[in-house]
Structure 1
Amino acid sequence: MEESSALPRISAVDLFCGAGGLTHGLVRSGITVRAGIDVDPACRYPYEANNSAEFIEKDVNELSAADLRPHFPDGDISLLAGCAPCQPFSTYSRAGRSKKRGLDWQLVNSFGGLIRDLQPTLVTMENVPQLADHPVFQEFLSTLAGYAVTWSIVECSKLGIPQTRRRLVLLASKLGHEGLAMPEALGSRRTVRQTIAKLPPLEAGQQYAADPLHIASSLSETNLRRIRASKPGGTWRDWDPELLAECHRKATGTTYPSVYGRMEWDAPAPTMTTQCFGYGNGRFGHPEQDRAISLREAAMIQTFPRRYKFVKNGDPVRFNTLGRLIGNAVPVRLGEVIGKTLIAHVSASRGATGAGSGNAQNTLF
């Protein structure tokens, strides 16, 4: 009998899993995700409803390597993945995800401690670019002794993600350096039009009956006048003076040109944040309709599939909660690129021609 060329299965645990963006992307690439861990109970439904993985509600600071080992079957290649929230670098509060976590940097250190004690074959971390300039990142790197390590600042719009989102992506492996590098670009950039143009139109405050997540926040009469005066890609400087807010009249207000702005159809969207459903919180106005983007549109810009479930049927749609889950998510497409990169690395390191777990849903390279 000929020896099989298929790769061993890659089994992963996703720390700080949120609503499942990274998990969903890894699964689409062909990696088996066994569990996702997060302190936020609001993550449970979207995580488990869309992914064949267990959700564990627990503070990563309280995890041990012994807690994780049962999720890595013998014979599989182990992958520990995650995005430790770094609140000091965030423009918007991560309220709800940080209540039990103590010092923000302790999350990165706890991630490093689990790597040191567990010694998985593969590691990936996604985070804000500013982390690279902080001493905690050097401390994290020191926990990766014995690993081949590469990291880079990735511009997500070059990887088929329809937003100008920059992220630090780290890959580490005990299998060597061969193929261990994120691609700089993949195909043409996706635009707002390509991503959300086919969704049914909405008015401000309206919800689409067939998809509760396709809901737009209400606008005051003043903000309706403002958005009608806004041009795609423009700023509040395009408005008549009587529409200016008090903050715009101050000298400091001139440093925030992107608030109260519309997106452009034929360009990537701005970075999705936890407040991306609010017209006054950034350039989150719909390119054409007089409203802010809906939660579904924000999720699709984060490359969640259109049918990704975030709330149970009949449950209320809460903008702040779902905005937090969507804005904090790792874009699904980025998780998919990371997964494909790791599968290609394992293949290159073993001289194999297989494709991971054999359940990849599409091909990136």
Structure 2
Amino acid sequence: MPAKGQDDKMRVTEEEIYRKRISGVLKEYKFGPKVIDLFAGAGGMSLGFSPFLGHNFEVVWANDFNEYAANTYNMNFGKHCNVGDIVDILEDPKTKVPKADLVIGGPPCQGFSLLNKFKDGDPRKQLWRPFMEVVKRSGASVFVMENVPELLSSFECGEIYGVAQSMGFKLASAKLCAADYGVAQLRWRAFIVGCKFADPSEVFPPKRTHIAPENGVRRRFLEKDVPYIDDAKPYKTVRDAIADLPQPKGTEIRKEKAPLDLHFGRMPTAKSLKRYMAIPKEGMNRFDLQRLAPELTPDCWIRKKTGGTDLFGRLWWDKPSVTIRTEFYKPEKGRYLHPEQHRPITHREAARIQSFPDKFVFTGSKVEIARQIGNAVPCELAARVADSVFALLLSKRDIECQTSSRKKDVAPSCLESREATQSRK
């Protein structure tokens, strides 16, 4: 570790990393930190840290409980994802956790439902503990833990902070809205970033890159302390994400190139189609259905006077989507109707709203792919968090290189790519 003082300051900001990443020159740093992804699902978090979105991180190990999600992960990132219960994997003496710079993932705060019958002390009830065990075994100096926003006010959050601090980590946390970072979706996630060699609050939370329209959008949380970049762009909308797609065909995964492979529909009942047609304008929902066509409205909706305003709702063209969940193809589950066509959104449309690039390959059945899409961290949001982490790790490397060069009285060759890039500004 360098001595306390000026060398501890960040040598690069997360905004600098962001701008270089979106301009495609981040690879000039010739620096690829090694990553472990736990509870990885199909790989939404890994994708944000990967060359898919302009980053240099290298995944060396991953884990998920779901075989179908792991297959998708391995199809896109190489065969790094181990299938199974992380507790069992870590208890296996044959398991060797590779060395890594960073551990990422979203451990559930409660055990899997099928394991709730176990005693209170079972480690599966608090899956952040094996997450931190992997951090320890891998020697990672940074970790990123992701979950629902409620995590940050939970008892488990206090436990996580206590364990991480006892391991030497400084911590920063925030609730982030995906729409603020270039995702066409109002989805909130909580992140805890731990770092051993610097205060992560110097670069996290990352500055917001996209700004809501003047008429505003509904926000669950306030983020007054998170600034914008100077040239923040307008929110990405449903129109931005899906308007170029043609009418979907068929009801099964199509043997065509992306994006058409996952652009298929459903076979609605006659009554369902009448319901879709009864609320033709964007933004309409079940209350409009009850007002315009009470004879088509289920009795349970009529009895339910409050809540659930997004049920059986149409998306707006010029606003971000609501949160995409695992059953987005069922309009009765949320605001998942196309803005103008009489159908729910397709798998490809949901994937785009989650900011998955078309070249990302999904495997498995229709239901399994929907689960992979809905459970994922929005990829562009993950990429902005990755900007913060890359700034941390690059600053650490630069400090170490400079310290080494002072001792040897030679130029720090590992800084050359960065200095060359800066000289072209």
TM-score w.r.t. the length of structure 2 is 0.72
Matched residue, 2:391: 344
**Alpha-carbon distance, 1:310 to partner:** 1.2
Equivalent runs, 1:127-206 vs 2, <5 Å = 127-145=147-165, 146-177=168-199, 179-187=202-210, 188=233, 189-202=235-248, 205=251
Deviations 1:18-58 (A, max 9, x none): 11111111113211111220111111321111113512112
Matched residue, 2:107: 84
Summarize the Cα distance change of 1:113–1:142 in structure 2 as closer, same or farther, 3 Å threshold: farther
Matched residue, 2:77: 51
**Alpha-carbon distance, 1:109 to partner:** 2.7
Q: What is the identity, as a one-letter code, of the residue corresponding to 2:32? A: R
**Alpha-carbon distance, 1:160 to partner:** 0.4
Identity among equivalent pairs (%): 27
**Alpha-carbon distance, 1:217 to partner:** 2.5
Q: What is the identity, as a one-letter code, of the residue corresponding to 2:135? A: I
User: Which of the two has higher C-alpha Rg?
Assistant: 2
Aligned pairs, how many?
335
Equivalent runs, 1:50-69 vs 2, <5 Å = 50-64=76-90
**Does 2:288 align with 1:238?**
yes
Matched residue, 1:262: 314
**Alpha-carbon distance, 1:115 to partner:** 3.0
**Alpha-carbon distance, 1:253 to partner:** 4.6
**Does 2:34 align with 1:14?**
no
Summarize the Cα distance change of 1:69–1:12 in structure 2 as closer, same or farther, 3 Å threshold: farther
How many Å separate the matches in 2 of 1:129 and 1:198? Answer: 33
Task: Say whether the 8 Å CA contact 1:109–1:136 is kept in structure 2.
Answer: no
Matched residue, 2:332: 280
RMSD over aligned CA atoms reads 2.8
Summarize the Cα distance change of 1:311–1:114 in structure 2 as closer, same or farther, 3 Å threshold: closer
Matched residue, 1:121: 141
How many Å separate the matches in 2 of 1:24 and 1:322? Answer: 16
TM-score w.r.t. the length of structure 1 is 0.83
User: Equivalent of 2:379, from 323, 327, 332?
Assistant: 332
Matched residue, 2:63: 37
Equivalent runs, 1:214-229 vs 2, <5 Å = 214-229=263-278
Secondary structure of the residue aligned to 1:310 is coil
User: Equivalent of 2:366, from 310, 318, 328?
Assistant: 318
How many Å separate the matches in 1 of 2:133 and 2:239? Answer: 43
**Alpha-carbon distance, 1:274 to partner:** 1.0
Structure 1, unaligned runs of 5 or more: 89-96, 359-365
How many Å separate the matches in 2 of 1:67 and 1:37? Answer: 15
Secondary structure of the residue aligned to 1:170 is strand
Summarize the Cα distance change of 1:226–1:209 in structure 2 as closer, same or farther, 3 Å threshold: farther
How many Å separate the matches in 1 of 2:199 and 2:96? Answer: 25
How many Å separate the matches in 2 of 1:221 and 1:205? Answer: 16
Task: Say whether the 8 Å CA contact 2:76–2:360 is kept in structure 1.
Answer: yes
How many Å separate the matches in 2 of 1:87 and 1:209? Answer: 39
How many Å separate the matches in 2 of 1:19 and 1:191? Answer: 24
**Alpha-carbon distance, 1:126 to partner:** 1.0
Summarize the Cα distance change of 1:330–1:217 in structure 2 as closer, same or farther, 3 Å threshold: same
Q: What is the identity, as a one-letter code, of the residue corresponding to 2:287? A: R
Summarize the Cα distance change of 1:253–1:125 in structure 2 as closer, same or farther, 3 Å threshold: same
Name the structure where helix makes up a greater proportion of residues: 2
Structure 2, unaligned runs of 5 or more: 1-27, 211-232, 402-413, 419-425
Secondary structure of the residue aligned to 1:34 is strand
